[in-house]
Amino acid sequence: MPTPLESAPRLSRILGGPRILIKRDDLTGLAFGGNKVRILEFLLGDAIEKGADVIITVGRFQSNHARLTAAAARRAGLKPVLVLGGPREPELTGNFLLDKLLGSDIRIILTNEPPPFAQAAVLESVAEEFRTSGMTPYIIPSGGAGPFAGVAYYNCMLELYDQLVQVGQPANYIFLCSGSGGTQAGLALGAKALQTGMEVVGISDKHPTEFLATRISKIANETANLLGIKIELLPNEVRVRDEYVGEGLGVPTESDLKAIRLAAESEGLFLDPVHTGKALAGLIDHIQKGMIGPDETVVFLHTGGTPALFAYSEAFA
Ligand SMILES: *Cc1c(COP(=O)(O)O)cnc(C)c1O
């Protein structure tokens, strides 16, 4: 079932136009939803095909990806193993609480390093532990990034395009939060393949623009290969903005918290401080700087992440 495409007329009016549509991928259905659900559908398909019975992945304590990987693994009858990291012992709230309720086998790494703190070697040693006990582990990389994520969001672009045709409203832009890059890679590849003329703008949650654009181009090209379509996406065709990161991943900014309140007060819509709040802050800034015209149409992709909101109560106090 397609996720809803809703209009946000009050938010749009407060910002002085453009028309804003919200693609509700926070409603993807599983365990509080989010973009990772679409991606995991393909990753777990691959895992099952390879005979896996254990799913191992990595993330921060408040990782949406980790929560959804654990939930998806449970739905598929597989054992979830989460390598989670952060600078201090995690609080039992938000995603980390949900990870526990899912009965995940959690391995904690206390580190000041940004993710993926668990380098390939750490995940490999966890996998080896299960292999020696006769099980078949499957490792999912940080954020699920790779061509399966690209395929998932290429499909989402097809779905969105259909919905835009149905409402008779072509869009000029898609704004989204971009982290490990798979989501934007699939959307941008789809937008180019369909010749929609839509610009896909990724608001980075941590990486510098050039690094992320290169990575997205690489994932998009791997995706095109996997799909067997002859389209190439060059790094300079990928639009990424890194000026809304602030002090780093998961550290809220003023404009981020303001955007979260604005979405709630205008549309009854919840965002989170790590991803979608910063993405909306980026969109608002583009509108206020006149980079998007009042007669244009923007799709804001709600990528989920709302359980993390509860881990940030102090930021709103
Ligand atoms: C993972 C995530 C993103 C970023 O998606 P990528 O495919 O890693 O770029 C954005 N928003 C939320 C809520 C996420 O959990």
pLDDT in tens, 84-137: 999 999 999 999 999 999 999 999 999 887 766 667 788 999 999 999 999 999
Q: Which amino acid is at 188?
A: A
Q: What is the pLDDT of residue 130?
A: 98
Centroid of ligand 1 to alpha carbon of 75 (angstroms): 21
- In the structure encoding, which two tokens stand for residue 12, read together? 């749009």
Alpha carbon separation from 146 to 176, 217, 299 (Å, rounded): 18, 11, 24
Centroid of ligand 1 to alpha carbon of 223 (angstroms): 17
pLDDT in tens, 231-282: 999 999 999 999 999 999 999 999 999 999 999 999 999 999 999 999 999 9
Q: What is the pLDDT of residue 115?
A: 66
The overall pTM is greater than 0.85? yes
The ligand 1 atom at the shortest distance from the C-alpha of residue 176 is: 10
- In the structure encoding, which two tokens stand for residue 140, read together? 């999912």
91 C-beta neighbours (distance < 10 Å), count: 12
Centroid of ligand 1 to alpha carbon of 145 (angstroms): 10
Mean pLDDT of 28-36: 98
Centroid of ligand 1 to alpha carbon of 276 (angstroms): 9
Pocket test for ligand 1, best of 205, 222, 240 (most atoms within 8 A of CB): 205
**63 tagged catalytic:** yes
Q: Residue written as tokens 């993710």?
A: 115
The packing angle between helices 182-193 and 147-166, to 10°, is 50
Please pick, among 63, 104, 178, 180, the residue that the annotation labels catalytic.
Answer: 63
Q: What is the pLDDT of residue 122?
A: 87
pLDDT in tens, 133-166: 999 999 999 999 999 999 999 999 999 999 999 9
Per-residue pLDDT at 316 exceeds 70? yes
The ligand 1 atom at the shortest distance from the C-alpha of residue 308 is: 13
The ligand 1 atom at the shortest distance from the C-alpha of residue 177 is: 10
Cα three-residue angle 226-231-233, rounded to 5 degrees: 100
101 C-beta neighbours (distance < 10 Å), count: 12
Mean pLDDT of the chain: 96
If you ran DSSP here, which 8-state letter would residue 169 be given?
A: -
Say if residues 25 and 269 touch (Cβ distance below 8 Å).
no
Three-state SS string over 223-249 comes to: HHHHHCCCCCCCHHHCEEECCCCCCCC
Please tell me the distance from the alpha carbon of residue 248 to that of residue 207, in angstroms, as a whole number. 9
- In the structure encoding, which two tokens stand for residue 163, read together? 């919905």
Say if residues 25 and 302 touch (Cβ distance below 8 Å).
yes
- In the structure encoding, which two tokens stand for residue 233, read together? 């996406």
Q: What is the pLDDT of residue 116?
A: 66
Cα three-residue angle 41-303-255, rounded to 5 degrees: 160
List helix spans (H) across the chain: 9-14, 36-49, 64-75, 94-101, 120-132, 147-166, 182-193, 209-227, 254-267, 276-288, 313-316
- In the structure encoding, which two tokens stand for residue 146, read together? 């790779």
Q: Which of 37, 30, 54 is nearest to 107 (CA)?
A: 54
Q: Residue written as tokens 């691959």?
A: 46
Query: Which residues are bridge partners to 300 per DSSP?
Result: 22, 175
Pocket of ligand 1 (CB under 6 A): 34-36, 64-65, 143, 145, 149, 177-184, 275-276, 303-305
Taken in order of first residue, the domains within the chain and their CATH numbers are 5-34+146-316 (3.40.50.1100), 37-143 (3.40.50.1100)
